[in-house]
Amino acid sequence: MRPDGRKNDEMRKIEAKVGVIEKADGSAMFKIGNTIAIAGVYGPKPVRPKHLEDPEKVLLKCYYDMYSFSVPERKRPGPDRRSIELSMVIKNALLPAIFVKEYPKSQIDVFVSIVQADAGTRCAAISAAAMALADAGIAMKDIVAAVAVGRVNNEIVVDLTKEEEDIEGTTDMPIAYMPRMKKFTLLQLDGKMPADDIKKALELAKTSCEKIYEIQKKALKDKYLKMRENENKD
Ligand code: ADP
């Protein structure tokens, strides 16, 4: 039995919504248990500074930020080594989903704020950012869904909490996956795991990402259904 009573293949409760930041070109909120990510997308727009411009493809910039009050012990505000690394990890997980050649000489900025953290923030950030990119109307091959899998107390489980991450011997594996393309875009491994367990964990990640994907698609559809309802009212 897991500390919060979940089954091994059971994710925490998920909520997803798009269009949460009015001034952004696209935005989304993704909540999984007590982890909440809010993503805002700005662009495509001209590249600044201009010398970073790529004549062939888009320049994707990602900024991951964990709020000071998102964790029990107040975190020092501002960027640190971890947030710089996670910004890169998130960018690399999103890029394969974007038709990058559709936007030459352009820049797309993705800002993700973690307003509450209980493990799995990079995955929540990716799931939120992918929805926000779709909401911004960016041409995409697929939506990226992400979740951590791992080994806790010798069991393969999905969506670890901070409490589970802190158990001695836990292995954590954040995964991002494009369900339609059937391609992984992120695979990290923090700890040790036998090859057979990695295979099992990847299968669990795939089926879990497929479930997240349905929730992401529903959130996107809901926004447009609501917009159409409002248009019909006018
Ligand atoms: P992820 O959030 O993607 O699992 P980490 O493994 O780096 O990434 O972090 C695991 C969890 O540890 C975070 O989700 C958060 O709950 C907690 N955490 C990370 N950094 C800090 C920090 N500076 N202060 C307090 N808690 C933190």
pLDDT one-digit tens code per residue, 142-165: 999 999 999 999 999 999 999 999
Locate 219 and state its tokens.
Answer: 């959130």
Give the pLDDT score at 155.
Answer: 97
C-beta of 71 in contact with ligand 1 (< 6 A)? yes
CA of residue 27 to ligand 1 center, whole Å: 23
Q: How confident is the model at residue 28 (pLDDT cuts 50, 70, 90)?
A: very high
Contacts of 109 (CB under 8 A, 6+ apart): 41, 42, 43, 45, 61, 63
Q: Between the CA atoms of 194, 200, 201 and 204, what dihedral angle is there, to the nearest 10 degrees? A: 180
Tens of pLDDT, residues 2-24: 999 999 999 999 999 999 999 99
So what's the architecture of 14-233 in CATH?
Answer: 2-Layer Sandwich (3.30)
Residue with tokens 């036998």: 194
Helix (H, G, I), strand (E, B) or coil at 124: helix
pLDDT band at residue 224 using 50, 70 and 90 as cut-offs: confident
Residue 232 has pLDDT above 90, yes or no: no
Q: Which residue's C-alpha comes closest to atom 27 of ligand 1?
A: 71
- Closest ligand 1 atom to residue 118 Cα is 16
pLDDT for 206: 98
| pLDDT attached to residue 40 | 98
What is the C-alpha separation between 202 and 150, in angstroms, rounded?
A: 9
CA of 71 to the centre of ligand 1 (A): 8
The rounded percent of the chain whose pLDDT value lies above 90 is 93
Question: What spacing in Å lies between the alpha carbon of 51 and ligand 1's midpoint?
Answer: 35
pLDDT (mean) for 78-107: 97
Ligand 1 in reach of 120 Cβ (< 6 A): yes
Is the CB of 162 within 6 Å of ligand 1?
Answer: yes
Position 116 pLDDT exceeds 90: yes
CA 91–ligand 1 middle distance (angstroms): 18
Q: Residue 34: which pLDDT band, with cuts at 50, 70 and 90?
A: very high
Ligand 1 contact, 73 CB (< 6 A): yes
Query: What average pLDDT does the structure give for the chain?
Result: 96
What pLDDT does 172 receive? 96
**Closest C-alpha to ligand 1, atom 24:** 75
Domains of the chain, by residue range, sit at 14-233
pLDDT at res. 191 = 87
